């Protein structure tokens, strides 16, 4: 080839490279760093888990509230953990396998792990897109129906229980200083568990505390299984129930096979399987005494006329004008 032609071709090649290489680089730059979000698959069915992400939608209007990118194959809502039955606490019955759903359209309690034995969970804030993995918990519980005020009972890595508030921001509502925390079976109009008072275990003793952590009772050696404004039902290691006041003084001397409250009345089942309703304030029995057979189911309620209705095996056996 003529040297002049060869030189001219080389110059043209250099010019073309100078033009197209920057253009190619610019194309790649705008593809990966442009102002638009990276392209993702569209979750047309609004699945909770899709494209290796968790998708959170508003229950009211179906709008997308946010997403979470999973890092491990086991990824989703945290399971409710409730050990109240171990102490026979009269709490709201938790459906097996229930998870804690999105709270306040903002907070998710998630599990993201590759190991089934790893039960640690963490809080994810959809608003700030913050995953608080450094504050992990081994148990969480909101009884499946929610606790009033978007509260959650949790157990930390040091085996201590506390209560978290997930309202406008994540806060510790009750410090993680207790060996157990539970709530009684009492719901508000929205169907959430009331959280005015907490049954707590600390240093081997049981107490009733209020929302400000004020202690309302003396030390109670046996688990508190239920309470009213002035009285507690406790259950000892032998499975026998007692009625005591907040000073831990016996109100009734007898050891019962079962005790429970219906409004201001006490349902009593003796060790001889005799059942009756007791008026605590009036210190008297207000019903007949019924001898129960094995398997009999007793139910009491106060109706709109303030009458006590006693049913055994779904049959009304007595109506008492209170």
CB atoms within 10 A of CB 122: 18
pLDDT in tens, 308-318: 999 999 999 99
| Domains (range + CATH), the chain | 42-216 (no CATH), 218-322 (2.40.10.480)
DSSP state of 217: S
Question: What digits encode the pLDDT tens for the residues 37-49?
Answer: 444 578 999 999 9
The whole-number average pLDDT for the span 179-190 is 97
The average pLDDT across 1-24 equals: 45
Please, are residues 194 and 188 in contact by the beta-carbon 8 Å criterion? yes
Q: Is 41 left (phi over 0), alpha (psi -120 to 50) or beta?
A: beta
pLDDT average, residue stretch 230-258: 97
Residues 13-22 have pLDDT tens digits of: 444 444 444 4
Which residues are 226's β-sheet partners? 233
Tracing tokens 């409710």 back to the chain, one arrives at 80
pTM for the model: 0.84
Report pLDDT for 163. 98
Report pLDDT digits (tens) over 50-69.
999 999 999 889 999 999 99
Rounded to an integer, the average pLDDT of 198-204 is 98
In angstroms, the CA 316 to CA 303 distance is 13
Distance between CA 230 and CA 245 in Å, rounded?
A: 6
The larger pLDDT score, comparing residue 6 to residue 205, is at: 205
Cβ partners under 8 Å of residue 278, min gap 6: 252, 265, 266, 267, 268, 284, 285, 286
Q: What is the pLDDT of residues 141-171, one digit of tens each?
A: 999 999 999 999 999 999 999 999 998 889 9
- Residue 96 has a pLDDT of 86
The pLDDT of residue 40 is 54
Q: For residue 184, which of 146, 220, 228 has the smallest C-alpha distance?
A: 228
- Reported as a pLDDT band with limits 50, 70 and 90, residue 123 is very high
Alpha-carbon gap, residue 150 to 107, rounded angstroms = 10
For residue 294, pLDDT beyond 50 = yes
Give 272-279's long-range contacts (Cβ < 8 A, gap of 24+): 275/312, 277/308, 277/310, 277/320, 278/252
């Amino acid at each position: 080839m003529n040297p002049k032609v060869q030189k001219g071709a080389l110059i043209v090649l250099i010019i073309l490279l100078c033009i197209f290489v920057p253009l190619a680089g610019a194309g790649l730059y705008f593809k990966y760093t442009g102002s638009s979000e990276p392209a993702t698959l569209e979750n047309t069915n609004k699945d909770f888990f899709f494209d290796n992400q968790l998708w959170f939608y508003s229950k009211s209007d179906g709008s997308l509230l946010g997403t979470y990118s999973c890092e491990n194959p086991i990824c989703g809502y945290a399971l409710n953990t409730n050990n109240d039955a171990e102490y026979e606490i009269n709490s709201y019955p938790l459906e097996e396998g229930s998870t804690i759903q999105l709270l306040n359209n903002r907070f998710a309690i998630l599990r993201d792990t590759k190991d089934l034995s790893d039960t640690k969970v963490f809080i994810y804030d959809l608003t700030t897109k913050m995953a608080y993995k450094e504050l992990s918990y081994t148990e969480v519980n909101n009884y499946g129906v929610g606790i009033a005020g978007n509260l959650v009972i949790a157990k930390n890595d040091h085996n201590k229980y506390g209560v978290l508030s997930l309202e406008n921001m994540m806060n510790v509502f009750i410090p993680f200083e207790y060996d157990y925390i539970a709530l009684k079976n009492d719901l508000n109009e929205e169907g959430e568990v009331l959280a005015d008072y907490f049954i707590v275990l600390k240093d081997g003793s049981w107490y009733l505390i209020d929302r400000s952590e004020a202690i309302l009772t003396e030390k109670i050696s046996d688990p508190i299984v239920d309470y009213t404004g002035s009285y507690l039902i406790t259950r000892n290691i032998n499975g026998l129930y007692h009625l005591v006041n907040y000073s831990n003084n016996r109100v009734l001397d007898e050891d019962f096979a079962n005790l429970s409250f219906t409004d201001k009345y006490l349902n009593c089942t003796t060790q001889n399987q005799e059942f009756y309703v007791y008026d605590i304030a009036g210190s008297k029995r207000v019903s007949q005494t019924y001898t129960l057979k094995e398997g009999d189911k007793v139910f009491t309620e106060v109706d709109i006329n303030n009458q006590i209705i006693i049913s055994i095996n779904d049959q009304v056996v007595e109506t008492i004008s209170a």
